[in-house]
Structure 1
Amino acid sequence: MHALDPSALMGPLWTLLAYVALGWLAARRLAIDPRPIATLLIYLIAPLTFFRALTLGGPTPDYLLLTLAAFLVASLLAVAVHRLTRRSFAPQERALLAFSAGTGNTGYFGLPVAMVLLPPEGVTLYLFCVLGITLYEFTVGFYLSARGRFSVAESLAKIVRLPLIYAFLAALVVSGLGLTVPAAAMEGLSVFPATYTLLGMMIIGMTLGRVSLREVDGRFIGACVAVRCVAWPLLALAAVLGLQGLVPLSPELAMAILLLGVVPMAANVVVVAMELGITPAKGAQAVLLTTLAAPLLIPLYLTLMTRLAGL
């Protein structure tokens, strides 16, 4: 593994912030409505991005076990936050907080950092963990978010209509049967990951472009930051220390787990909130704050955590 260089984080950070700024300009100057873009991301771009990543990764039982573990951890943490905040926040805020608790910016921000810190096999381990968190976002996370506004039946109906679930199953079938996706199709799909990143971050800016300072909710933002910047790093460190005591744990997998715990809040918090109409402005504020803090926090956290884990 490579040593952590804080300057390596600046490239991804400024790129993401430039996308946010473009979204802000689009909302302010062009009066673009971000809601159709959120729908496009959820129902078209995300499923195709997910399908491509899985088919390229060549899922094996060991890799899928990582995906399952990440999915379960994210789901359990989100459910726990949802229950613990039932008396502290309004239903829509509670739903958005629960959704954000189970995920992070593991793709847009975390992947460039993983490619700096980890060898190729470590990046593959990290990607299959990310797939588990992404699957959480569009199943358990989406359900918890929808419950902030809709009934149980309506929330389940919305999940059933999400194509990302079927993209995941289709990718498993393709890989399990040894089928080959035509090269022309894979080349066409190669544009979707960058599109997903661009539009996902622009939606944050579009949402912020409609927010005034009077709408800033310090209590909600504080809760989001506490979960992402305190609970997740502690959980990741505990997972590494616990696994080290039970089974031989490779340094690459240990670093991948630690990285999952220190990335900023996920841009998909805003995307899902926009689609469901549950206070996307508050989510955008918290996402932007944790993204701005990431270049300072990630080197500090990873240096301390790797020492504690003996890496």
Structure 2
Amino acid sequence: MLEFLKDLLPCLLIGFWLGRRYPGRSGVLATPLVRYGVPLSVMGLLLKGGLGPRVLLAAVLAAGVIGSVLLLARWIAPLRHLLHGPCGQLGCCVGNTAYFGVPAALALLPASALPITIGYDLGATLLAWSVGPLLIAGESSDGSGLWSRLLKALRGSPAVPGLIGALLVQLTPWVDRVATVLWWPSRAVILLALIVVGMRLGSLSLSTNQSDTRLPLLLPALVGKLVLFPLLLLLVGLVLGLDPVMIQAITLQGAAPTAISVLLIAEAVGRDQAIAAGLVLWSTLLALLSSPLWGYGLVVLFQGG
């Protein structure tokens, strides 16, 4: 737990200070980081942890569970009302897995969990960017429109080049050497990504509409994201009989705070931006406590078993 906070907290605080001092400047660092740094980091993490069928399984699980939660939240009227609309529905199950969940896995889980966290992030990202805009905008779409969004999300995901790069390196005899060379640059990219998250939070703390971001209003979605959703993933893993490392990895990814992509989607469609911003801000602050508690609890649970 202390290792997790030691890496994460200073980066978030530095970024938060920069975000308040230079609001709106996070894109200056985020754009090259996403374009070049994240693929490099994903490739290094995958090579370090090893590639296998669990990457694909984690992606399918992420998309399946998140999709099921979104369907239930739309079909069950009391739940739909409790979550205050589509932003709350998306925010209670789509987490900041790349910039928060991966550092949590690095600090709290063995290296073999890293490919699982990358696979989960890929599946969650593809689902969020393919159906998220439709959900928040309240639009309907035919099958071709949904597939085009899915393909666009796949092309735009920075994890995909990293995955392709790792697969190509796996075919060479230099896999171990490349993995060693990329390990520390991969960690450095994660730390820079945390600074970007902190900068985003700093900017949000200055511009958020307070009437739409009060904690009581957002509490149901926050409890869902930080407590109930990871609990659901834990139960799914146990019911499916997955191995302990995979259960811990998907559960810890589920415990990540609301993804910044939820805010980006809300801004893109021009709806519920303040609610999305409040969810990102509050869930990230609360996850500084809840995420390491989940990690510690999972270790105790499976060591005890």
Normalising by structure 1, we get a TM-score of: 0.71
Residue number among 127, 135, 145 corresponding to 1:144 in the alignment = 135
Indicate how the Cα distance of structure 1 residues 294 and 252 shifts in structure 2: closer, same or farther if over 3 A, else same. same
What is the aligned-residue RMSD (CA, Å)?
4.0
1:1-311 alignment runs, 5 A limit: 5-6=1-2, 8-27=4-23, 32=24, 37=27, 46=34, 51-52=39-40, 57=46, 59-84=51-76, 88=81, 94-145=85-136, 147-148=137-138, 150-152=139-141, 156=146, 161-162=152-153, 163-164=155-156, 168=160, 175=167, 197-243=194-240, 246=241, 249=243, 251-309=244-302, 310-311=304-305
Is the CA contact 1:270–1:280 (under 8 Å) kept in the aligned structure 2?
Answer: yes
Note the C-alpha offset of 1:95.
1.9
Is the CA contact 1:220–1:282 (under 8 Å) kept in the aligned structure 2?
Answer: no
Note the C-alpha offset of 1:197.
4.6
Separation of aligned partners in 2, 1:260 and 1:166 = 18
Gaps of 5+ in 1: none
Indicate how the Cα distance of structure 1 residues 61 and 307 shifts in structure 2: closer, same or farther if over 3 A, else same. closer
Note the C-alpha offset of 1:218.
4.2
Is the CA contact 1:81–1:101 (under 8 Å) kept in the aligned structure 2?
Answer: no
Separation of aligned partners in 1, 2:33 and 2:3 = 31
Q: Indicate the residue corresponding to 2:175 in structure 1.
A: none
Note the C-alpha offset of 1:297.
2.2
Note the C-alpha offset of 1:12.
0.2
After superposition, what is the alpha-carbon deviation per residue over 1:24-69, rounded to whole angstroms, capped at 9, x for unaligned?
A: 3323xxxx488xx49x86xx86566665456553654342222222
One-letter amino acid of the counterpart of residue 152, structure 1: S
Deviates further, 233-242 or 50-59: 50-59
After superposition, what is the alpha-carbon deviation per residue over 1:265-310, rounded to whole angstroms, capped at 9, x for unaligned?
A: 2232222222222222222222222222223323433444444454
Note the C-alpha offset of 1:73.
1.5
Is the CA contact 2:38–2:162 (under 8 Å) kept in the aligned structure 1?
Answer: no
One-letter amino acid of the counterpart of residue 284, structure 1: A
Note the C-alpha offset of 1:216.
3.0
Indicate how the Cα distance of structure 1 residues 10 and 143 shifts in structure 2: closer, same or farther if over 3 A, else same. farther
| Higher relative helix content | 2
Separation of aligned partners in 2, 1:152 and 1:261 = 28
Normalising by structure 2, we get a TM-score of: 0.72
Note the C-alpha offset of 1:116.
2.0
One-letter amino acid of the counterpart of residue 16, structure 2: V
After superposition, what is the alpha-carbon deviation per residue over 1:141-183, rounded to whole angstroms, capped at 9, x for unaligned?
A: 34323x33x4536974666654426973995599479889xx9
Secondary structure at the counterpart of residue 268 of structure 1: helix
Indicate how the Cα distance of structure 1 residues 298 and 158 shifts in structure 2: closer, same or farther if over 3 A, else same. closer
Is the CA contact 2:263–2:273 (under 8 Å) kept in the aligned structure 1?
Answer: yes
Indicate how the Cα distance of structure 1 residues 135 and 301 shifts in structure 2: closer, same or farther if over 3 A, else same. same
After superposition, what is the alpha-carbon deviation per residue over 1:209-256, rounded to whole angstroms, capped at 9, x for unaligned?
A: 12353443445411221211221132132123223xx46x1x322321
One-letter amino acid of the counterpart of residue 64, structure 2: L
Secondary structure at the counterpart of residue 234 of structure 1: helix
Note the C-alpha offset of 1:109.
2.0
Aligned residues: 285
Separation of aligned partners in 1, 2:245 and 2:159 = 28
Deviates further, 194-203 or 77-86: 194-203
Gaps of 5+ in 2: 173-177
Separation of aligned partners in 2, 1:134 and 1:290 = 18
Separation of aligned partners in 2, 1:261 and 1:167 = 18
Separation of aligned partners in 2, 1:118 and 1:62 = 16
